[in-house]
Amino acid sequence: MCCGNGCSHEALCIMSVPVFQGLNEADLQLLQKVTRSKTYSKGELIFQEGERSDTLFVVNEGVIKLTKMSAGGKEQIVRLLFPGDFFGLFSLLKNETHYVNAEAVKKTVICFINKKDFLSTMESNAHLSYRFLLALNDRLHEADESVGLLSLMEVEQRLAKVLILFHDKLMAKNHSFTLPITKKDLACYIGTTPETVSRKLQSFVSQRLIRVNGPRHIQILELNQLKQIAEMN
């Protein structure tokens, strides 16, 4: 399933999701035919907590934040999704309502695969079913890591870990990237305040671990040292 510069969003979605890689040409063509795409503006909701859907969502471009609201009205970022990530499986497979809100952090292109078409492909391809089991296992591992991120790590470790996540997910060239979320959202994600985020970033600059160019542009200078900070007990 080769694509040039004129490749559609739908084809790019199928090719970008790791779990779909390795499918035979017939299944790839089938998925491409039943995939649709939509562009969302910054701040636009893809779905809200409590809604139902029979759709698998795939991030093709942009960044999505999954959030929950506390009883006091405070937003907590549960997860960030980047190109190639898929979501909506809980509602899709269990026929239950979404347990989070999904919001576009920036201009984002989302692809959709209907439940009937998705399950039909799964049923006819044991390899794809197995890959989805592995993907769900990875999700559980990420959820466990997220709990550890908030409860077991110091703020400096959490920030280092998230910077490495952004570096890897955004495929930073020359180890440079733009923070995909605001400092306020970043603080929410790692369970601290924007002021603390700014102070810790400045500490990393002083240690010559990173360089900050402008309000949100980061260049990692010492990736291995940053990883050591993130992995400290």
Q: What's the pLDDT at 141?
A: 65
Distance CA 117, CA 29 (A): 12
Cα 208 from chain centroid? 28
Confidence of residue 95 (pLDDT cuts 50, 70, 90): confident
**Given a cut of 60, is residue 233 above it in pLDDT?**
no
Please report, for the chain, the start and end positions of each structural domain, with discontinuous segments joined by +: 25-150, 154-230
CATH of 25-150, one of 2.60.120.10, 3.40.50.880, 1.20.58.110, 3.30.420.40: 2.60.120.10
Give dist(CA 131, CA 138) in Å, integer: 11
Q: Read off the pLDDT of residues 181-207 as tens digits, 9 standing for 90 and up.
A: 999 999 999 989 999 999 999 999 999
Residue 206, SS3?
A: helix
Q: 185 or 129: which carries more pLDDT confidence?
A: 185
CATH hierarchy code of domain 154-230: 1.10.10.10
Considering the entire predicted model, what is its pTM?
Answer: 0.82
Q: Give the gyration radius of the chain's Cα atoms.
A: 19
CA distance 218 to 133: 35
The percent of residues in the chain predicted with pLDDT above 90, rounded, is 41
Least reliable range by pLDDT among 51-55, 75-79, 113-117, 127-131 = 127-131
